[in-house]
């Protein structure tokens, strides 16, 4: 199956995809701030430039897009074109995520991964419940985890 866009339009579309300040990330930042949590954004000195760094809790939060990090949920679908390229690309992303998480944990950070499907989509977690999970994880000083 061929692409429905020309290569110039496809390039423009791909360049428009943000790495920072995505809608799920902004949503989470707004709600955590309203709940009284203070954080730094995209700390370049830490492995993986975590989306949120909460030094008081020695915790970092990544907000992962289900497609770009190949999450096994309804929001992820492997593209039908250039399948080998996408498999290699997405597996590389997953491997990099695991390496960065291990480096952060080695440095004493706790890591929380909040998946896009927890914030939006048909399997999203209700806002209050999701925020309760995150705040209790931060305050309890429990090990790294992933939502969902």
Domain 18-147, classified CATH 3.90.226.30, yes or no: no
Confidence at 112, pLDDT banded by 50, 70, 90: very high
Domain ranges (residues) in the chain: 18-147
Mean pLDDT confidence for 66-92: 95
In degrees and rounded to multiples of 5, residue 62 shows phi and psi of -105, 135
Could you tell me what percent of the chain has a pLDDT over 90? Answer: 84
- Please give the pLDDT value at position 25: 95
pLDDT in tens, 3-22: 787 888 867 776 666 668 89
Answer yes or no: pTM beyond 0.85.
Answer: yes
In angstroms, the CA 29 to CA 33 distance is 6
Q: Sign of the C-alpha dihedral, residues 88, 94, 98, 99?
A: positive
């Amino acid at each position: 199956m061929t692409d429905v866009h020309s290569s110039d339009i496809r390039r423009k579309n791909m360049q428009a995809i943000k790495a920072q300040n995505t809608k799920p990330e902004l949503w989470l930042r707004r709600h955590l701030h309203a709940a009284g949590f203070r954080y730094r954004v995209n700390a370049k000195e830490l492995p993986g430039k975590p989306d949120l760094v909460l030094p008081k809790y020695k915790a970092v939060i990544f907000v992962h897009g289900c497609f770009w990090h190949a999450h096994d949920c309804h929001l992820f679908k492997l593209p039908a074109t250039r399948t080998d390229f996408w498999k290699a690309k997405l597996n590389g992303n997953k491997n990099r995520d695991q390496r960065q998480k291990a480096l952060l944990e080695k440095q004493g950070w706790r890591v929380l991964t909040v998946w896009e499907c927890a914030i939006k989509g048909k399997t999203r977690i209700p806002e209050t419940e999701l925020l309760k999970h995150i705040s209790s994880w931060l305050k309890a000083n429990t090990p790294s985890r992933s939502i969902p």
